[in-house]
Chain A
């Protein structure tokens, strides 16, 4: 097939990108070469719209062993232990085929982690769906949850936390972001950089089929009416093979046979071989007839672009082939020597004794286009003055019940009951808390992880929104008693060719960067998903932040359920009563305008570190961060968790109860302490200039808003727990 501009455009390349390819090669590419260029130059692999902005992220820190640019980020957790982690999107495939899309998303991120030599120890996810009333939402939710469970449960890695939200902006583009944490000895970390000439290049894992061809290109385009036709570009996962691949790779990694290793994710064999060669400043020569194929008559184009799952590319030390083959034979996996490293700095491919590709590696990687897209700054929306009469007809208890059963606040147990969250025997905080926590097997340490996003805040004001999610992640980690260490981000946005969407991206990234720098909470890995848009309708900007923290002694972990009657609960941090962009304003007052809550990074850091100090001094019995829904939702959740009651103090000088109880001011926590410890706690808080209010005290039953208004916990629990289960059953 002769290549021309029209074919190049069908491959998703722009006209001038095609011209640039011809100029670089000084000839017209053949079809295999064009396929390879299109795969490497698309948005998903090249980060061409995002790269110049991602450079501004804060990525360094004392505990960072590996920042962005590898398969995953790595942090030091002491005693030679390191945690490898990353979050990644699988949005486009999950909308087309929810089960397989979500399953292979989980499979892909776990491979990124064990490629680095780490055994996965925890999975998390952040999933976002359209309005509950939209006709597709229920089936998509069901399929995605089954897919995530189907893959993670089979591998035997616990899914310990997650986030689910509903918003009409996801009607045509759901989001599925999967995150994995792995544990590795810091002296035994494997990287993708190839080194040495004439080293064997090995293909292991599943056979190559025609599934997923152009998957990465699909993820770099907007959707239209014919989206269902793209089903064949969704990969099909086989968690059983991945489990075997995991065990086989870890077995081979026990000694020093491997020089470099890379999983075949987006753009399959193409991106894995280019990446290894590019990082090692080497060439790679492959004989495509040696690639194990499961379908007949696959041509070089198909072999190079297939996104069949559960495959790895390895550069081995010379002489280690037999030993490696034995391990893969034991695990019944394909093992083939398909090529070698060269000093040509080219990707050279042979098929049926003919050279079918000859491209300098730099053309694919370093010379890939980088765009400085136009973007629009988004101003802080004007404040809204709520009037007294807006609240006149409202009753606090009715508002509370409505919010507890809101799809974005309500209990998500229907989801996590379907995820194995206890396998591996180290899960000490299950889903449903502020963070999931797993022990580092055989030690006194534990890692906490949480995943967060706040699309409404980001949509209202991207800069504030970007900062807010980092802060929320930090708070969720502190609330379980862990020291926040680092984050990974999954940047889900609309079409970068639109100035507004690009502006949302640029300013969210700026916000993330500012907050993570201030909090010393660096970004160590992540990915970007653009073009979450269907028929001109884009999603709200939804960066997801996955945070990881360390608990030195897991026995000191904190949970959010109230512990003892007679204890008192303090609100840490100042409550102004910011209602704009709160769930209360939207759902109760039907007001969608106004700025999101202000982020004060000084207070955020100071309040957080002070709470952590009190936890470390064993003064805190339970803790919960105050986020969506404000103080009253937060205390209700603490009550429901433990079936304890709570009596609120009559707060003096309160201008507006609704603002106080439902405002979403940031940098706040609820902490439960014993009465005897109040003087100590008061001293620490004052020394650190942290504002606090005494909210009330723990009692045996009911939430007592006043002497007259008593709400039964069972009743509140029903509001909190029933919505999702009922929705899915009907």
Chain B
């Protein structure tokens, strides 16, 4: 299985993602933002970081970069596009996903482990995953998901809220919401569910000596679903 990770100036989780993808069997290529063509891929990843310094708005300049047109074309033909953290912000800026990521409610950067509940398994990312709750890691300043009432209705009616912040037992409540996100939304799909944007970083949880191992479950499952 082939994957590509896009490097924008200011990306800083590109290497971590490369390490994770390779560890679970992807043949990964790093792609520079100024290239105009994507290599043949089964999965495109927009990694975390501070693309273009997050100037103007998080992800906004990356959303207009040269490579992004190829990413949009790829996504529109059903290709799998995964955006993590800044990658999620970029996806909302391109319009591939609805809504925006606002500054965290407590106006502080947050770096910690959180639990997310998987809401929908009828997609390539979570199909057959043998867990309902994942412990993942967040590290962001703008992860507070927000959208219009119509958009929220559309997301909910079509089962497009991929993952929601919850507690250890799976309760989705205000206490388990780290950043003020609408309805505890941690990640969403597009209508066709080939695009997933989420704030948590599965690539930081891929061996037992790190913060945890639930990222491994995510990647193993993903590659099995693509095969």
Q: Are A332 and B139 in contact (CB under 8 A)?
A: no
Encode contact with B along A424-467: 1 for CB under 8 Å, 0 otherwise: 11111010000000010000000000000000000000000000
Quick one: given A240-B55, A555-B209, are A156 and B13 in contact (CB under 8 Å)?
yes
Distance in angstroms from B216 CB to nearest chain A CB is: 12
The segment from A74-82, A346-354, A414-422 that touches chain B is A414-422
Q: Are A422 and B10 in contact (CB under 8 A)?
A: no
Distance in angstroms from B218 CB to nearest chain A CB is: 14
The segment from B45-53, B91-99, B158-166 that touches chain A is B45-53
Indicate which residue in B12, B139, B209 contacts A243 across the interface (CB closer than 8 Å).
B12
**Across the two chains, which residue of chain A brings its CB closest to B211?**
A422
Q: Are B50 and A423 in contact (CB under 8 A)?
A: no
**Across the two chains, which residue of chain A brings its CB closest to B215?**
A425
Q: How distant is the Cα of A263 from the Cα of B110 in the complex, in angstroms?
A: 31
Cβ-based interface call for A239 (8 A):
yes
Quick one: given A240-B55, A554-B209, are A423 and B12 in contact (CB under 8 Å)?
yes
Indicate which residue in A331, A332, A425 contacts B16 across the interface (CB closer than 8 Å).
A425
The segment from A63-71, A132-140, A147-155, A708-716 that touches chain B is A147-155
Cβ-based interface call for A244 (8 A):
yes
Q: Give residues 224-282 of A contacting B (CB, 8 Å).
A: 238-241, 243-244
Distance in angstroms from B113 CB to nearest chain A CB is: 9
Q: How distant is the Cα of A241 from the Cα of B52 in the complex, in angstroms?
A: 9
Interface residues on A, range: 20 to 34
Q: How distant is the Cα of A155 from the Cα of B139 in the complex, in angstroms?
A: 13
Quick one: given A240-B50, A424-B16, are A154 and B111 in contact (CB under 8 Å)?
no
Distance in angstroms from A536 CB to nearest chain B CB is: 36
Quick one: given A422-B210, A424-B16, are A417 and B52 in contact (CB under 8 Å)?
no
Q: How distant is the Cα of A155 from the Cα of B48 in the complex, in angstroms?
A: 12
Cβ-based interface call for B204 (8 A):
yes
Q: Are A419 and B111 in contact (CB under 8 A)?
A: yes
Q: Are B53 and A153 in contact (CB under 8 A)?
A: no
Cβ-based interface call for B37 (8 A):
no
Indicate which residue in A154, A240, A428 contacts B209 across the interface (CB closer than 8 Å).
A428
Quick one: given A331-B9, A417-B108, are A422 and B50 in contact (CB under 8 Å)?
no
Given the complex, which residues of B lie within 8 Å of A557, measured CB to CB? 209
Q: Are B210 and A154 in contact (CB under 8 A)?
A: no
Distance in angstroms from B193 CB to nearest chain A CB is: 28
Q: How distant is the Cα of A422 from the Cα of B139 in the complex, in angstroms?
A: 8
Distance in angstroms from A554 CB to nearest chain B CB is: 7
Q: How distant is the Cα of A156 from the Cα of B211 in the complex, in angstroms?
A: 17
Indicate which residue in A238, A418, A423, A425 contacts B206 across the interface (CB closer than 8 Å).
A425
Interface residues on B, range: 20 to 34
Q: Are B111 and A243 in contact (CB under 8 A)?
A: no
Q: Give residues 9-56 of B contacting A (CB, 8 Å).
A: 9-10, 12-13, 15-16, 19-20, 34, 48-50, 52-55
Indicate which residue in A150, A330, A425 contacts B210 across the interface (CB closer than 8 Å).
A425
Q: How distant is the Cα of A146 from the Cα of B209 in the complex, in angstroms?
A: 28
Quick one: given A418-B108, A418-B111, are A244 and B211 in contact (CB under 8 Å)?
no
Distance in angstroms from B202 CB to nearest chain A CB is: 11
Q: Are B139 and A154 in contact (CB under 8 A)?
A: no
Indicate which residue in B19, B52, B109, B203 contacts A418 across the interface (CB closer than 8 Å).
B109
Distance in angstroms from A548 CB to nearest chain B CB is: 20
Q: Are B112 and A417 in contact (CB under 8 A)?
A: yes
Q: How distant is the Cα of A416 from the Cα of B137 in the complex, in angstroms?
A: 14
Given the complex, which residues of A lie within 8 Å of B112, measured CB to CB? 417
Q: Are B210 and A244 in contact (CB under 8 A)?
A: no
Distance in angstroms from B59 CB to nearest chain A CB is: 14
**Across the two chains, which residue of chain A brings its CB closest to B51?**
A240
**Across the two chains, which residue of chain B brings its CB closest to A554?**
B209
Q: Are A417 and B111 in contact (CB under 8 A)?
A: yes
Given the complex, which residues of A lie within 8 Å of B141, measured CB to CB? 153
Q: Are B109 and A238 in contact (CB under 8 A)?
A: no
Quick one: given A240-B50, A422-B211, A425-B203, are A153 and B137 in contact (CB under 8 Å)?
no
Distance in angstroms from A508 CB to nearest chain B CB is: 34
Q: Are A154 and B10 in contact (CB under 8 A)?
A: yes
Q: Give residues 387-435 of A contacting B (CB, 8 Å).
A: 416-428, 430
**Across the two chains, which residue of chain A brings its CB closest to B206?**
A425
Quick one: given A423-B12, A423-B16, A425-B203, are A154 and B110 in contact (CB under 8 Å)?
no
Distance in angstroms from A347 CB to nearest chain B CB is: 34
Quick one: given A425-B204, A554-B209, are A420 and B53 in contact (CB under 8 Å)?
no
Q: Are A155 and B12 in contact (CB under 8 A)?
A: yes
Encode contact with A along B183-223: 1 for CB under 8 Å, 0 otherwise: 00000000000000000010110100111000000000000
Given the complex, which residues of A lie within 8 Å of B12, measured CB to CB? 154-156, 243, 423
Quick one: given A238-B53, A244-B9, are A149 and B209 in contact (CB under 8 Å)?
no
Q: Are A423 and B108 in contact (CB under 8 A)?
A: no
Quick one: given A154-B50, A240-B53, A243-B12, are A427 and B109 in contact (CB under 8 Å)?
no
Q: Give residues 130-187 of A contacting B (CB, 8 Å).
A: 146, 149-150, 153-156
Q: Give residues 310-333 of A contacting B (CB, 8 Å).
A: 330-332
Indicate which residue in A332, A430, A439 contacts B9 across the interface (CB closer than 8 Å).
A332
Given the complex, which residues of A lie within 8 Å of B9, measured CB to CB? 240, 243-244, 331-332
Q: Are A421 and B111 in contact (CB under 8 A)?
A: yes
Q: Are B15 and A424 in contact (CB under 8 A)?
A: yes
Indicate which residue in B15, B53, B204 contacts A154 across the interface (CB closer than 8 Å).
B53
Encode contact with B along A330-350: 1 for CB under 8 Å, 0 otherwise: 111000000000000000000
Q: How distant is the Cα of A430 from the Cα of B210 in the complex, in angstroms?
A: 9
Q: How distant is the Cα of A647 from the Cα of B13 in the complex, in angstroms?
A: 45
Given the complex, which residues of B lie within 8 Å of A243, measured CB to CB? 9-10, 12, 50
Q: Are A240 and B204 in contact (CB under 8 A)?
A: no
Q: How distant is the Cα of A424 from the Cα of B11 in the complex, in angstroms?
A: 12
Q: How distant is the Cα of A574 from the Cα of B188 in the complex, in angstroms?
A: 59
Given the complex, which residues of A lie within 8 Å of B203, measured CB to CB? 425
Q: How distant is the Cα of A477 from the Cα of B210 in the complex, in angstroms?
A: 19
Given the complex, which residues of A lie within 8 Å of B49, measured CB to CB? 156
Q: Are B209 and A423 in contact (CB under 8 A)?
A: no
Known: A150-B109, A420-B109. 7 other contacts (CB 8 A): A154-B53, A239-B50, A240-B50, A244-B10, A420-B111, A425-B210, A427-B211
Which 8 residue pairs across A and B have the least CB separation, nearest first? A156-B12, A240-B53, A425-B16, A154-B50, A420-B139, A418-B109, A428-B209, A420-B111
24 chain-A/chain-B pairs, Cβ below 8 angstroms: A146-B109, A153-B109, A153-B111, A154-B53, A156-B50, A238-B53, A239-B50, A240-B10, A241-B53, A244-B10, A417-B111, A417-B112, A418-B109, A419-B109, A421-B111, A422-B111, A422-B201, A422-B210, A422-B211, A423-B48, A425-B15, A425-B16, A428-B209, A555-B209
